[in-house]
Chains A and B, each alone.
Chain A
Amino acid sequence: NAGVTQTPKFRILKIGQSMTLQCTQDMNHNYMYWYRQDPGMGLKLIYYSVGAGITDKGEVPNGYNVSRSTTEDFPLRLELAAPSQTSVYFCASSYSFSLGDNEKLFFGSGTQLSVL
Chain B
Amino acid sequence: GQSLEQPSEVTAVEGAIVQINCTYQTSGFYGLSWYQQHDGGAPTFLSYNALDGLEETGRFSSFLSRSDSYGYLLLQELQMKDSASYFCAVVDSGYALNFGKGTSLLVTP
Contact = CB atoms under 8 A, between A and B. Distances in A.
Interface of A: 31, 33, 35, 40-45, 48, 50, 56, 58-59, 90, 99-100, 102-110
Nearest to A47: B96
B71 interface: no
B70 interface: no
Interface of B: 4, 30-31, 33, 35, 41-45, 48, 50, 87, 89, 91, 93, 95-102
Contact of A42 (B41, B44, B99): B99
Nearest to B1: A59
A42 B102 contact: yes
Nearest to B92: A99
B22 to A, nearest CB: 11
Contacts of B45: 103-106
A110 B91 contact: no
Nearest to B30: A100
23 contacts: A31-B96, A35-B99, A41-B102, A43-B87, A48-B95, A48-B96, A50-B95, A56-B95, A99-B30, A99-B93, A100-B31, A102-B91, A103-B30, A103-B33, A104-B33, A104-B45, A104-B48, A105-B35, A105-B43, A107-B42, A107-B43, A109-B41, A110-B42
